[in-house]
Structure 1
Amino acid sequence: MTARIAVITPASENRLAHLHRQRRFLREVSTPEHEVVRIEAWLDESEPPAFDGAVHVHLPPGRDGMRVGAARNAAAEVALAGGADLLVFLDVDCLPGPDLIDRYVAASLTHPDGLLCGPVTYLESVQRPSSPDELGAATRPHPVRPNPASGALETAGFADYDLFWSLSFAVTPATWGRLGGFDERYEGYGAEDTDLGRRARSLGIPLHWVGGAHAYHQWHPAGAPPWRHLDDILRNGALFAERWGEWPMGGWIEEFVAAGAVEEYAGGYRRTTV
């Protein structure tokens, strides 16, 4: 029986080149064993550009920025209404490896109650693969996260749920229903995926790292720490702390504090007032 796989990607105008390459790679790695349906959630104020190869959902920015979590939720709702057997969330910056779909499908059959995450390699600025066949030589998964052998799974311990990220993950419809989706109060940059990981842990939903489900993050300029997202990080960090009792993105906040841009205040953090 052919499985219906929904690949959900939030996208915007400033990532169109990455989106075009992802679309092409996804077509090339898709196989007849699976029916792959693209659902693209457009995050800009403007309408999405015409593209016949995907179902489009339009979520304009909210008061505080792009509504990435809400966009993923809306796209998932469309996917479920269309009869999807598996939801694969793939960030617009990420290219699917040749086995990403197959490995997620296989993992969902043996662990249907889990939150499934594949390894992600960050490509360098000079690495611009032209086909999925070139990805294998570039594979260099993020060193902090597990990288099981292809076909193997590694289950996260209690302390490892904060390693969950939304660049590439998959869930069955039943597990997505238990999770309840992303908290839509998060707008702009940061914390909505760490929040989802914490929710999974609180609900007893296992987090599995899926060997062979490789994704490849295309290079783009980024600050370290991300100064242009400072206000988002403070706002979303406070929301996270209100729920979970501690602040996320601690490394970046420490750098902001060290630079004199942020100060401790009332058990949390704020922009420096002097």
Structure 2
Amino acid sequence: MLSVVTLVRNRNRMLRDFLRGWSSQDLEELEVVVVRAGGYEDPTEATVDGPTPTVRHVTLPTGLDSEAIAYSHARNAGAAAARGDRLVFCDADTMPAPGCARRLHDALGDHDALITGDVRYLPPDVDLSRPVESLVALARPNPGRPTPPAAPGEVDLTWRHELVWGLCMGLRTTTFRDLGGFDESFCGYAGEDTDLATAVRSSGRPAGAVGGAVVLHQHHDSFEPPLHQLRATVANAQRYRDKWGAWPMEGWLTRFASAGLVEWRNDVVEVLRDPTPDEVEAHRCRVAAPFR
């Protein structure tokens, strides 16, 4: 069985599209685990009409649902509730195209590896009620990632592990447990997925992408770099450096340093000041660049 684990906070509109996409799959052995990571919206209300996979709901304990989402803990809680022998962590602001579930399921059956789908990004203001095929035609790949195989179901296991992100990452349940799951010392935003990917690499397992397992990212405003998550990003980058001896998220750290927000030395990064509200707002991205 394939278990799809997602986190959600106040994104019921997106969650409905997420569930609609998974309900259209041709895989019977499929379940979705929805972890409520705080917020005022009740994700059990984000139901869809028609046939759906089994949906399990998990709510984080009190104290773990603050504004700083406990990503590692939440994903581990979702994985603990999952019943499948194959796990895929997929963000609630995505939609799978038809055939995605079966191709991910089969790839994990054939390969003890870290995998991702063919992730593509939708532009703003798209009518998500359109047929999925037309949405796939509108979506664009991330130019910073390799091109997944063109043939549906083909698996390319030559990717660098750090290119498999929490947006869509899958592995066997036994492998996830053997590796200890997500490291919960990574608190809040950023880095916990790169840490798990590095643990997979350290275990000798490969990483790559599955052709035809198309996952569409729904557009929403974002921040580049994530000044609104400065302290969590810096703390998690330092945690990764201390653990693995290398820096993750170097592009973000470079931009934080250039803005005078952090001091970044060889083995230490230190917050000098928090960004002002105007600085944060100036880095808001309302268009889908560079994925137009």
Structure-2-length-normalised TM-score: 0.83
Q: Tell me whether 1:78 sits opposite 2:59 in the alignment.
A: no
Q: Tell me whether 1:54 sits opposite 2:45 in the alignment.
A: no
Query: Which residue of 2 is the match for residue 18 of structure 1?
Result: 14
Rounded to whole Å, the distance in 2 between the matches of 1:241 and 1:63 is 26
**SS of match in other structure, 1:89:** strand
Q: Show CA shifts across 1:83-107 (max 9, x none).
A: x132222111111111210111221
Rounded to whole Å, the distance in 1 between the matches of 2:12 and 2:65 is 21
Alignment of 1:56-205 (within 5 A): 56-60=57-61, 61=64, 65-80=68-83, 84-111=84-111, 113-130=112-129, 131-146=131-146, 147-149=148-150, 150-156=152-158, 160-205=160-205
Query: Which residue of 1 is the match for residue 3 of structure 2?
Result: 6
Structure 2 unaligned runs (5+)?
48-53, 275-292
Rounded to whole Å, the distance in 1 between the matches of 2:67 and 2:204 is 32
Query: Which residue of 2 is the match for residue 41 of structure 1?
Result: 35
Query: Which residue of 2 is the match for residue 219 of structure 1?
Result: 219
Q: Stretches of 4+ moved more than 6 A in 1?
A: none
Rounded to whole Å, the distance in 2 between the matches of 1:200 and 1:96 is 24
Taking only the aligned residue pairs, the percentage that are identical comes to 34
Rounded to whole Å, the distance in 2 between the matches of 1:222 and 1:72 is 21
8 A Cα contact 1:47 1:58, kept in partner: no
**SS of match in other structure, 1:119:** strand
CA RMSD of aligned residues (A): 2.2
Alignment of 1:233-272 (within 5 A): 233-265=233-265, 267-272=267-272
Q: Show CA shifts across 1:65-123 (max 9, x none).
A: 2111111111111113xxx1322221111111112101112212221x11111121121
Structure-1-length-normalised TM-score: 0.88
Deviation at 1:178, TM superposition (A): 2.4
Rounded to whole Å, the distance in 1 between the matches of 2:120 and 2:94 is 9
8 A Cα contact 1:122 1:216, kept in partner: yes
Deviation at 1:169, TM superposition (A): 2.0
8 A Cα contact 1:5 1:34, kept in partner: no
Q: Show CA shifts across 1:36-78 (max 9, x none).
A: 2111011016684434762111125367821111111111111
How many residues are paired up?
262
